[in-house]
């Protein structure tokens, strides 16, 4: 436990000591972001006006974090993320946007970005977005590459809900399960928030997918139960016949 805490502490220290790159065309917004980062303890902040400038800088040195404009400059944000990931897969990329469209943000996440920051921002929102980008829950490749994003997100929610419900039942009998239950509840809540944030369309669309998936799983459970009952009936009949009983 002590070694884990030391490792976590070192990783946080490394995050704050490593240089950060800002890619934003507005000098005012860039200056405000620099001040927010310095307030949070990031002392080595470098700003550039275009995405290609940033790519060249990233080729020259290592950055722990890059906050970049989601609007195109000399190249698109999508091309920028692809080029950066090709150069350094460890750098954490966070998109900046005054009017973020979830589908656009999602396309950047699929390419390798770890989050987005809405403009205007506060120092606290900058901190929260960066913490989530480094340490928070991320969308799995299954969801990022899913043909039906809402169906995949609904599956994530229901899988975590089922795991939580199993642990709730176990916690009534096994005291040691309480800690695992707390973690499961946290994961479930995080998955629900991620689903609401990144669902395609409205919350109603996500809810419709959740209901449909519940109905499908209920039908599968009924089918399995029916098959189990038929198998047990056949086994009982075979046992009775073996014992000499007449079933006619």
Per-residue pLDDT of 2-43, as tens digits, reads: 444 443 444 555 677 788 999 988 888 888 999 999 999 998
84, 193: one domain: no
Q: Residue 34: its pLDDT value, please?
A: 92
37, 146: one domain: no
41, 154: one domain: no
In a domain, 246, yes or no: no
Average of per-residue pLDDT values in the chain:
82
pLDDT tier at 180, thresholds 50, 70, 90 = confident
34, 106: one domain: yes
Q: Residue 111: its pLDDT value, please?
A: 92
Q: Residue 1: its pLDDT value, please?
A: 43
- pTM of this prediction exceeds 0.85: no
Q: In this structure, what CATH number is given to the domain that contains residue 31? A: 3.40.50.2300
In a domain, 247, yes or no: no
8, 103: one domain: yes
151, 131: one domain: no
In a domain, 104, yes or no: yes
Contact 97, 118 (CB under 8 A): yes
Q: What is the pLDDT of residues 57-91, one digit of tens each?
A: 999 998 999 999 999 999 999 999 999 999 998 89
113: domain range?
Answer: 2-135
31, 72: one domain: yes
Q: Residue 2: its pLDDT value, please?
A: 46
Cα 95 from Cα 84, distance rounded (Å)? 13
- Among residues 135, 159, 193, the one where a domain terminates is 135
130, 145: one domain: no
18, 107: one domain: yes
- Among residues 105, 135, 165, the one where a domain terminates is 135
Q: How many domains does one find in the chain?
A: 2
106, 57: one domain: yes
- Among residues 135, 170, 205, the one where a domain terminates is 135
126, 148: one domain: no
């Amino acid at each position: 436990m002590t070694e884990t805490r030391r490792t976590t502490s070192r990783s946080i220290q490394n995050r704050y000591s490593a240089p950060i790159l800002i890619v934003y065309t507005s000098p005012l917004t860039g200056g405000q972001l620099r001040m927010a980062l310095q307030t949070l303890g990031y002392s080595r902040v470098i700003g550039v006006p275009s995405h290609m400038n940033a790519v060249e800088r990233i080729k020259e040195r290592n950055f722990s974090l890059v906050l970049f404009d989601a609007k195109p400059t000399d190249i698109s944000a999508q091309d920028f993320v692809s080029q950066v990931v090709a150069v350094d897969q460890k750098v954490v990329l966070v998109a900046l946007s005054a009017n973020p469209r979830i589908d656009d943000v999602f396309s950047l996440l699929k390419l390798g970005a770890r989050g987005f920051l809405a403009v205007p921002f506060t120092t606290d929102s900058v901190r929260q977005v960066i913490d989530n980008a480094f340490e928070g829950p991320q969308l799995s490749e299954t969801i990022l590459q899913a043909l039906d994003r809402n169906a995949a997100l609904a599956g994530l929610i229901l899988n975590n809900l089922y795991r939580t419900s199993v642990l709730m039942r176990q916690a009534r009998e096994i005291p040691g399960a309480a800690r695992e239950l707390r973690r499961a509840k946290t994961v479930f809540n995080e998955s629900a928030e991620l689903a609401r944030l990144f669902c395609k369309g409205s919350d109603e669309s996500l809810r419709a997918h959740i209901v449909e998936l519940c109905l499908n799983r209920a039908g599968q459970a009924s089918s399995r139960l029916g098959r189990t009952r038929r198998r047990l009936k056949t086994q009982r009949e075979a046992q009775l016949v073996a014992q000499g009983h007449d079933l006619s």
